[in-house]
Amino acid sequence: MPVCNPPRASSLIGQTSTSCLQKFTIHFRRPNKLKEKSNYSYRGEYGFDWLRDEYIYPIIKVEYDQFKKFKPSACIPLCRSDNIIALKNVYLKGIQKEHKIKPHGQDYYPAWLSIFACNVTAEGANRDAGSTMHNKGIYLDLQLDEIDKIIDDGTEIIFKPSKPCLIITPNKISIKEFLETSIKKRELNSDTHEPVINYYMLKNAVKIMCKGNTLKQHETITVFAKLGSEECEVGQLMVYQNNSVPKANIVVVNVITEYDKNNNKIPLETHQSFEYIFKFQSFNQAMIRAEVGAKHDFDLVDLGNKYSDVKQFLDDIKNKNYMNSLKIDPKTHKKIDSAIDIRNRLRDLYEKYGKHAPKPVGTKINHAGHYNTYLLFTKLSPQGEKGGHTLGISDLQPNPKTKNNEWGNILVIFQGGLKDSHTIVHEAAHTFTLPHIFETDTALNNKPIFHQGYTENYMDYTWHPNSANYSSWSYNIYEKKMHSFFKWQWDMMRNDKKSIKFPKK
């Protein structure tokens, strides 16, 4: 969150001033290239979320405003305008009152970092929460936003963690190091080109790790500007609690729907690294261990020789009208959406005949208590009535008590999504209760809402509409680089009591 005041000259020494300290703010930022990963691009290796300028300022040209139903002539914020205050407050939620800062009287919204603790040896610490995932630390950039015009007057930037196990190196930096980089400008309105923030960016400036103990609550690294005996707070990083690490148990089911001419199963070619992505590049951001607990084939061809409902399903998926969502339901006299119907029928069949169906018999996949998430891979490729193949689908069903739609514990990945990591993580996150970030159904999403297709968030789409009927569209500029979850999404997933199991205290 930048300061919007224009740069000005500091009071000269000897003139009236309440302090000799220069006025600026410091912000932690995620590098484009990760130094600890041999300068690879970020792919979700740790959780990092911050209030980006384009979310709250008119910086990006949104081709079609899906909320107000028109084509904007000017740039608009990516967060829906009536949600911006709520979005700002998201970054303050979870911060203890005494830790909230307001440097130089300016509103400040800290970035959030989530990393696992390593080498947990402290007495009484939860060693099971430790991991080697971040034992080399992670590097972050530092951004200095000017309020005053900055000069090299010997000011030092000091970092003070709230817990000894939070280690930041170096623990101080001279303001001279910022001034040795080139000054940059950020326009907070791409149409009027003002206000402008002058800033400096110090790449890979600090390394942060949590070592020796875990964080039982959210902790801070507070940044101070110090000159002589004077110092003041100028920035902050929030570090997410990592003392309690829940588990998500994934049951992987390869759905077999055909044999080859030699009467052998036709295997599925799925994403080779999805287990790694679950564990190290997605749900780890929320301090969740998503692990595959079982993997097996669900052979419908064999079962079709024994059970009529399976045989009927196999017959239906050979029907082109059914697969293209053109078949009429004799009960409702409406066309059957093939992707939804296939998901529902596979769920029902697995509950009856699946090797790892929830126990005891009669327990439904979408019931709470068994803590399994069922990931079904299939070579089927259902198509919508108006064309377009569905890559994946999760289970959204009305709660009979509340009448609200709720996410279930199953996702189905179709032919087009079998090797698409974004689709697999996106649908799995739905089962952990996450809605699309552009979802307007308040029963599903009571969080800030964004325009579709403009962020790097896993729960965004890889495209955005350019027109009212969605006949024209463009790719998200982050397509193939959508690897992050918001901080409030970390909270939501950890609160999913049906899928996420916390260790016993």
Integer Rg of the chain from CA:
26
What token pair was written down for 153? Answer: 């007057």
The token duo for 455 is: 């962020």
Q: In this predicted structure, what is the pLDDT of residue 15?
A: 35
Q: What is the reported pLDDT for 2?
A: 45
Burial 394-416 (b: 16+ CB within 10 A, else e): bbbeeeeeeeeeebbbbbbbbbe
- pLDDT for residue 329: 93
| Amino acid in position 89 | N
Round to whole Å and give the CA distance between 233 and 224. 4
Low pLDDT (below 50) residues in the chain = 1-18
Burial of 156 (0-12, 13-18, 19+ CB in 10 A): middle
User: Strand 138-146 to strand 156-161: parallel, antiparallel, or no bridges (unpaired)?
Assistant: unpaired
pLDDT of res. 4: 44
- Quick check: 282 and 290 in contact, CB under 8 A? yes
Instruction: Report d(CA 67, CA 435) in Å as an integer.
Output: 17
pTM over 0.75: yes
Q: What local confidence, expressed as pLDDT, does residue 19 receive?
A: 63
In this structure, the dihedral spanned by the alpha carbons of residues 441, 444, 447 and 449, taken in order and rounded to 10 degrees, is -40
How far is Cα 402 from Cα 443, in angstroms, rounded to an integer? 10
Token output for 159: 């970092």
CA angle (491 as vertex; 167, 289 as ends), nearest 5 = 70
Strand pairing category for 392-398 and 196-210: unpaired
User: How many residues make up the chain in this entry?
Assistant: 505
Identity of the residue numbered 171: N
